[in-house]
Structure 1
Amino acid sequence: MGPEHPTTLGARFSLARWMGEAGDAAGARYQFTMLIPVCTRVLGPEHLGTLIGRFHLAMWMSDAGDPAGGMDQLAALVPTMERALGLEHPTTLAARFSFASLTGQTGNPADARDQLAVLGPVIERLLGPDHSTTLAVRADHAQWAKYARRSAWRRWLRRR
């Protein structure tokens, strides 16, 4: 094997992920930052492993205190996933869900609401109305709809 063998890359991926799961989001972000260029070169930019690594980088970036950076990563990643994996691939759908959540967390609840309004019916059709992911998308949609109404109300009050 060697440092760029797919098995070695898989071990590095696991190490980075488990660092984050153990509470070291900054360490996971760093490890994925170092790993993604190697995966891109060795596996290709549209390989499932590279795309999932980029998804993890975005999420650990957010968890390490940079939700705007994570959202920017996902904004670039989601179209690539849609093209390479398909619109209804589970990883693409997970990335779209995370992108919507980070959109709301970074101050745009109306866009988050709108993204989830589009994503919700797709998730429900694929997974069923009672699946935990369907219910999570519905709950997030309701949350961002509420925050969007509050934001609109505040803007209206300021104009008066």
Structure 2
Amino acid sequence: MGDYSKALELYEKSHKILEKALPSNHPDLATSYGTIGQVYNDMGDYPKALEFYEKSHKILEKTLPSNHPNLATSNSNIGRVYNNMGDYLKALEFYEKSHQIYEKALPSNHPDLATSYGNIGGVYSDMGDYSKALEFYEKSHKIYEKALPSNHPSLATSYSNIGGVYSGMGDYSKALEFYEKSHKIWEKALPSNHPDLATSYSNVGQVYNNMGHYSKALEFYEKSLQIKEKALPSNHPDLATSYGNIGQVYYNMGDYSKALEFYEKDLEITKKALSSNHPNLATSYNNIAAVY
């Protein structure tokens, strides 16, 4: 439902009970730390997410064999937080640890393996290494196509990932083709205010912006923003991204006062939510500088 503060309150009450009732290295405590970490990650509080994921991981490392799938999941969670924080090399390190376990523990067509390939592809995409990203995304997609029904949300994510790489490579018609495949699945599978639908609208908006179709870009970015404003806390980094995107379209249209308005909303959140060396903060300052 997206009420993160309520979820956090309940998970922490549960955790306090477990802390009193169980030995400090009990697997249920690891699960509890991990769950709280997940909520912080969803809220966009990445340092807090990392703190709880690492507490969880320490217990799992002591209590499980080194090739246990739960350790793979834990490595993957930590990798995701580093990726969100813009520390791509660290993200890659943890995603690869996770992947090594999955490769040994799971059959070659298992959906978790596909997710793992997708995670690694995502880091390469964020780093701008699109050929490497495409290689991992396509490995992921082949597994999903065999293992899942054609309307499964994970397939939508996969189409979207591949679309993102084509967009990064400047092949916008190809990007649009994959984004639209993705969007059709999400529209059927998800409630109309789901954050993944917001991402999908944003992706399509970005391609239209890159193609110079600014009114179309604005239409999709605004649909995305409407969902995010309802679904996310007001200081979430994804909201900042959305404001930045809309600012960019106004800038491209030559409406600099409107651009500045949205860029400043972006910067206000980004300064609070992300570390001072995060790439998004640099982008945010550059955007405002360009207006002046």
Q: Offset of 1:42 from its aligned partner?
A: 0.9
Q: Offset of 1:111 from its aligned partner?
A: 0.4
Cα-to-partner distance string for 1:69-98 (whole Å, 9 max, x where unaligned)? 112211232121121123222222112112
Report which structure shows greater RCO (CA 8 Å, sep ≥6): 1
Corresponding residue pairs, total: 150
Cα-to-partner distance string for 1:5-30 (whole Å, 9 max, x where unaligned)? 22322322223223323332112113
TM-score, structure 2 length as denominator?
A: 0.45
1:113 equivalenced with 2:173 (yes/no): no
Query: CA contact under 8 A between 2:110 and 2:143: conserved in structure 1?
Result: no
Identity of aligned residues (%): 15
Counting only pairs closer than 5 Å after superposition, residues 7-156 of structure 1 correspond to structure 2 as: 7-129=70-192, 131-145=194-208, 147-148=210-211
Moved more, 127-136 or 110-119: 127-136
Structure 1: distance between partners of 2:95 and 2:195: 28
RMSD value over aligned CA atoms? 2.4
Q: For residue 53 of structure 1, give the secondary structure of its aligned residue in structure 2.
A: helix
Q: Offset of 1:141 from its aligned partner?
A: 2.4
Q: Offset of 1:148 from its aligned partner?
A: 4.5
Structure 2: runs of 5 or more not aligned: 1-63, 214-292
Structure 1: runs of 5 or more not aligned: 151-160
Structure 1: distance between partners of 2:83 and 2:199: 22
Aligned CA distance change for structure 1 residues 23 and 136 (closer, same or farther; 3 Å): closer
Aligned CA distance change for structure 1 residues 126 and 104 (closer, same or farther; 3 Å): same
Q: Counterpart of 1:59 in structure 2: which amino acid?
A: G
Cα-to-partner distance string for 1:37-81 (whole Å, 9 max, x where unaligned)? 331221222323322221111111222332331122112321211
Query: CA contact under 8 A between 1:58 and 1:69: conserved in structure 2?
Result: yes
Q: Who wins on radius of gyration, i.e. which is larger?
A: 2
Query: CA contact under 8 A between 2:124 and 2:132: conserved in structure 1?
Result: yes
